[in-house]
Chains A and B, each alone.
Chain A
């Protein structure tokens, strides 16, 4: 019991710190890519900027627009944040640092993170704003269709390792990370692309699509509710990266350094890659994105699954 509470608090602390760090990091990365300086004034090179932002957002007035569907508008930020936080339950930080190693960890993480879409759709519906509504609709369509290639690529990992437990998958990679096997490398690429779509990042950020829908589903949110969406987005980014690191990059395994260090390095590198992608690529269009998911990613993932399954059976 005490262990559960402790790990819960540790996770919450980590989430807050990680989100803050990621927000700062994203600003810095965008700045260095764009030959700017980024935040410089608060703290050393603006390290305290997220804290200043948080204080600002906490002090902001919480505006509820007229004509909202109050319940769904009010609940939406929680529906986005809570699944992301609960997903931390099965993330193995190191061989012993895991809040609770469920034996269906992979299934759990895939199902719990897809609850987010409900929150986003509630936000879009409840806000009584046409941009939000469009954003919510786009988001629902997007996340549901990208779930398919994502799960198909994860399935391959499960087939390879023969277990659904996250720790079990890490242990299965003791003799070489999965990403170095050709069929799993393809699965890794598919996972990266579809997880980028899952967390609504460029080039698949069409639910928020700044230049089209102002801010998409969170147009009408202010203050702490907006901050919750923000934290959820960045934490979700960390979750998918951590999952990718666990499933494909050997999790906490690595020489010399302790497991946590390896795990964080791998996850944050993937996060960095996502950020780099955001500041490089233009956004795709709704229908292009859907056809990309259904006509390219899903067939490739299916074929990949089929062929490697056949090989596995044969060998």
Chain B
């Protein structure tokens, strides 16, 4: 009826989670078309990888999905280990599971907080989530000396053993977090405004999710029972008892709920892992030299989905080619299909529920 309005949402916009630029075509407030423009955070990580040794690239993987650096480190190191057949001690494997799950909790907490923020719950859930995440970040600070870019996992192990007393800190945190989760449920999950805003908004059907190769909590929210930790266990995930959380409809609320449930499951995994850590030496020295030939593609279950590293080696100290298959990239590609015909407020809600990290999309 009316004139079409083209709104440039981003690259600087409070709820585009970084530097995403969406070109929205609006009719009044209804989104008719959406064209995402990427590349504002592009650093050409893949080219960097070709010019660094295997070990030197680990700090760069921190900067991909900066909310889940441990998982990126882990994914990359596992891919290199698969490529070059490097052995890892059992203790290192257990510790890797613990840190990966802790970081998953931290990352999901940020996702929950920012999603609530996108729905207009001014900062309060965000701050609660961040103060919980802070405890994990402090713990990681203790482990590896950094709060965001951890650079903790090494090819063949970890950069250092956990300091004594860490297991008690983790146990305390788990107890605390279970209590906090009740609070999130009271504040958000069943709040009538929250439900009205996120229920049945941006429904991602099973078929669409698979066609767009969406992964992680978003895929599971669409009702696909698929979790790499369960279906193709890497590390020692097959030794733990946990559930794969799935949604029913695939709307924004389901995606939120799946994340919230996954926090519980991650805490369960950590609880089990911390009881079963074997003795041994998890440390892998930096001055080990790696070289080899071949190629490997390895996927790990990141908080945001399946992170894949495709490494090609041709005998040098550097990878010949390193392709990073980032989960958020595929997850974002479904956005235009999801928000067509929705209100601009709902578009923000859907974008928030996809939980993208631009560092990973632009690489």
Binding site for B on A (CB under 8 A): 30, 33-36, 130-131, 134, 202-203, 205-206, 209-214, 278-288
Task: Known A212-B348, A282-B193, A285-B346; judge A34-B117 contact (CB<8 A).
Answer: no
Contact indicator per residue, chain B 110-147, by CB within 8 Å of chain A (1) or not (0): 00000011111111100110010000000000000000
Q: Is B15 an interface residue (CB 8 A)?
A: yes
Contacts of A213 in B (CB 8 A): 344
Task: Known A36-B127, A286-B345; judge A279-B122 contact (CB<8 A).
Answer: yes
Complex: A12 Cα to B127 Cα, angstroms: 36
Residue of A nearest to B114 (CB): A211
A61 → chain B closest CB, angstroms: 19
Binding site for A on B (CB under 8 A): 5-7, 13-15, 29, 116-124, 127-128, 131, 187-188, 191, 193-194, 196-197, 343-346, 348, 352
Residue of B nearest to A284 (CB): B193
- Report yes or no: A282 in contact with B121, Cβ–Cβ below 8 A: yes
Q: List, sorted by A's number, 28 A–B pairs whose CB atoms are closer than 8 Å.
A: A30-B123, A34-B124, A35-B127, A35-B131, A134-B344, A203-B120, A205-B120, A209-B120, A209-B345, A210-B120, A210-B122, A211-B120, A212-B344, A212-B345, A212-B348, A213-B344, A214-B14, A280-B121, A280-B124, A282-B120, A282-B191, A282-B193, A282-B194, A283-B119, A283-B197, A283-B345, A285-B343, A285-B346
- Report yes or no: B124 in contact with A279, Cβ–Cβ below 8 A: yes
Complex: A222 Cα to B349 Cα, angstroms: 28
- Report yes or no: A286 in contact with B29, Cβ–Cβ below 8 A: yes
B31 → chain A closest CB, angstroms: 12
Task: Known A214-B14, A285-B345; judge A130-B193 contact (CB<8 A).
Answer: no
Complex: A202 Cα to B121 Cα, angstroms: 8
Interface of B is mostly: helix
B33 → chain A closest CB, angstroms: 15
- Report yes or no: B14 in contact with A210, Cβ–Cβ below 8 A: yes
- Report yes or no: A287 in contact with B343, Cβ–Cβ below 8 A: yes
Q: Could you say which of B7, B123, B193, B348 has the most chain A C-beta atoms within 10 Å of its C-beta? A: B193
- Report yes or no: A288 in contact with B118, Cβ–Cβ below 8 A: no
Residue of B nearest to A133 (CB): B5
A124 → chain B closest CB, angstroms: 13
Complex: A278 Cα to B136 Cα, angstroms: 29
Checking A130, A205, A214, A286 against B343 with a beta-carbon cut-off of 8 angstroms, the contacting residue is: A286
Task: Known A134-B29, A285-B197; judge A211-B191 contact (CB<8 A).
Answer: no
Contacts of A209 in B (CB 8 A): 120, 345
Residue of A nearest to B127 (CB): A34
Contacts of A35 in B (CB 8 A): 127-128, 131
Contacts of B120 in A (CB 8 A): 202-203, 205, 209-212, 282-283
Complex: A280 Cα to B193 Cα, angstroms: 11
Checking A134, A205, A282 against B197 with a beta-carbon cut-off of 8 angstroms, the contacting residue is: A282
Residue of A nearest to B121 (CB): A282
Residue of B nearest to A283 (CB): B120
Interface of A is mostly: loop
Question: Known pairs A202-B120, A211-B119, A283-B193. 5 more at Cβ < 8 A?
Answer: A36-B127, A134-B344, A206-B345, A211-B15, A282-B193
Q: Could you say which of A134, A203, A205, A283 has the most chain B C-beta atoms within 10 Å of its C-beta? A: A283
A51 → chain B closest CB, angstroms: 24
Contacts of B117 in A (CB 8 A): 211
A241 → chain B closest CB, angstroms: 19
Task: Known A209-B345, A211-B117; judge A285-B196 contact (CB<8 A).
Answer: yes
Residue of B nearest to A134 (CB): B29
A309 → chain B closest CB, angstroms: 31
Contacts of B118 in A (CB 8 A): 211
Complex: A213 Cα to B118 Cα, angstroms: 11
Complex: A212 Cα to B118 Cα, angstroms: 8
Task: Known A286-B343, A287-B343; judge A33-B124 contact (CB<8 A).
Answer: yes
Contacts of A210 in B (CB 8 A): 14, 120, 122
A265 → chain B closest CB, angstroms: 26
Complex: A94 Cα to B32 Cα, angstroms: 55
B189 → chain A closest CB, angstroms: 12
- Report yes or no: A211 in contact with B348, Cβ–Cβ below 8 A: yes
Complex: A210 Cα to B345 Cα, angstroms: 11
A137 → chain B closest CB, angstroms: 8
Checking B15, B131, B196 against A212 with a beta-carbon cut-off of 8 angstroms, the contacting residue is: B15
Complex: A30 Cα to B126 Cα, angstroms: 12
Complex: A214 Cα to B11 Cα, angstroms: 12
Contacts of A212 in B (CB 8 A): 15, 120, 344-345, 348
B248 → chain A closest CB, angstroms: 22
- Report yes or no: A130 in contact with B7, Cβ–Cβ below 8 A: yes
Residue of A nearest to B195 (CB): A282
Complex: A33 Cα to B122 Cα, angstroms: 11
Q: Which 10 A-B pairs have the closest CB atoms?
A: A283-B120, A34-B127, A282-B121, A211-B15, A282-B119, A285-B345, A211-B118, A282-B193, A130-B7, A282-B120
Complex: A281 Cα to B196 Cα, angstroms: 12
Contacts of A278 in B (CB 8 A): 122
A230 → chain B closest CB, angstroms: 16
Contacts of B15 in A (CB 8 A): 211-212
Complex: A36 Cα to B124 Cα, angstroms: 10
B185 → chain A closest CB, angstroms: 14
Complex: A58 Cα to B38 Cα, angstroms: 38
Complex: A31 Cα to B121 Cα, angstroms: 15
Contacts of A280 in B (CB 8 A): 121, 124, 187
Contacts of B344 in A (CB 8 A): 134, 212-213
Complex: A282 Cα to B123 Cα, angstroms: 10
Contacts of A288 in B (CB 8 A): 196-197
Contacts of B191 in A (CB 8 A): 281-282
Complex: A282 Cα to B194 Cα, angstroms: 6
Q: Could you say which of A202, A211, A288 has the most chain B C-beta atoms within 10 Å of its C-beta? A: A211
